[in-house]
Amino acid sequence: MHTIPRQIEAVLRQELARRQFSRTEVGHSLKWCRFFIDFCLKSGSSPREPDSIPLFLQKIASKGQGPELQQQARTAVQILQELLPQFRKGVEVTSNEGKDEMVVQPEPVPAKIAVKRKGIQRGEIAKETGPAESELSWEVLYHRLEDCFASGQYARTTRKSYLGHLRGYETFLAEADSKEVSSESAAAYLTYLARERQVSASSQNQAFNALLFLFRKVLDQPFEPYGVQRVKRRRYVPVILSEEEIAMVFSEMEGTSLLVAQLLYGSGLRLTECLSLRVQSLDFDQLRVTIHRGKGGKDRAVPLSKVLVDDLRAQLKQCRTLYEEDLAEGYAGAFPPETGSPRKWATRMKEWPWQFLFPQENLTQVPEKDELRRFHLHETSFSKRLKAAIRRAGIHKRVSAHTFRHSFASHLLVHGYDIRSIQEMLGHSDIKTTMIYLQTVPTLSKKEMQSPLDFWKLG
């Protein structure tokens, strides 16, 4: 895809900021402008001509983009067209059937990027320093990184992980007294993690993915880190609790923490998925829990145990009381999902179906908007209570919230469930990830989706 010329992108960013576009909206607007330029070059139309906008909108409509996204695209490209006349002299112009037309050429991909730690303000693009090298600031790179995050479906944990690894790469370059962001220096950093820091294979892979994202999405460069010393991945055997051990842990928990633990095991949820559940996630008629925007941005349905229905209804009743109190106090709603336009969620977050199933005890102040919102129970809060319950139960295995998910999969296999069915319930993209549970349990025929809690025969 063709890129927006730097001088145009800088002015476009300033204009979007002046119109008070959010960071997410800026990312989406830049994306639509890139699509628009690419469309014009391929169709032979001019980015300057107003007639090219309806043609572009027809094109994206034919690709299945709905009215809301079409309006988002229309707004972005109209702003771009308003800005283009001031670049008539600064951008290469050729003749096309007797008309002056801006020809937007993709900028040559620099072989190396020199990054300055200071000296360039956010949003400012530095001057070219040579035919094979350009100079940016880390502030600009991080700003572009946030734009890429905003225009894609990236979870909060993914963003945090990538940002942490890129800051580690920045520190590595500074300590090496180098400004060069290149595949060679990235390879040296990955090898440094293996030799000097002695990180695990998964940590090195996370760093690799963060650098891959930086080069391909942010810098629009190929990423070829040759000669990297890779950490050897150890054979992973997940910790599994027996049904008796899980019952012992449950007996040492109460209230909301117990209900969260029962859902983790009974539905095979990740902790972040469980705590992010909203009222509309529960389907008591079909005994299903729907996970929206799980790991990898995927949706899936998992079983809801009959054992938990009454307790969940009681939890909803408590949530309803808290919700009505929040409305009376004029709160701004629950925190919205991480993806999507803020305007889309503006009114929905005050609606009952969008409230969190496990709300935090206190409202959270949002400084930049001077408003109060309700967040969900924090992961750390539950983990502390689980750790205390494990200690009181006298269990000496290395247990975390994720152990319930491992036990969910293992116990389903014991009861004869097919590995493919379990893969679907766990939301694994690769069957190899699910295969770790097959080390001692044979694969049997596929059965109807069910919760392992319902297999229990207790008193």
Find the catalytic residue in 293, 300, 428, 446: 428
Cα distance between residue 252 and residue 412, in whole Å: 24
**Element housing 135 (H / E):** strand 133-137
> Which tokens go with 317?
């009743």
Find the catalytic residue in 48, 74, 295, 415: 295
**Element housing 291 (H / E):** strand 288-291
User: Residue 270 catalytic?
Assistant: yes
User: Residue 405 catalytic?
Assistant: yes
Find the catalytic residue in 74, 402, 415, 446: 402
Cα distance between residue 279 and residue 310, in whole Å: 15
Find the catalytic residue in 13, 31, 165, 270: 270
Query: Any residues with CB less than 8 A from the CB of 223 and at least 6 apart, and which?
Result: 183, 186, 211, 212, 215, 216
Torsion of CA 435, 437, 438, 440, to 10 degrees: 150
Q: Rounded to the nearest 5 degrees, what angle is found at the Cα of 244, between the Cα atoms of 241 and 246? A: 50
User: Residue 59 catalytic?
Assistant: no
Find the catalytic residue in 144, 405, 406, 411: 405
Q: How far, in whole angstroms, is CA 340 from its chain's centroid?
A: 11
User: Residue 295 catalytic?
Assistant: yes
User: Residue 437 catalytic?
Assistant: yes
Cα distance between residue 358 and residue 334, in whole Å: 11
The packing angle between helices 23-43 and 6-18, to 10°, is 140
3-state class of 292 per DSSP? coil
Residues marked as catalytic: 270, 295, 402, 405, 428, 437
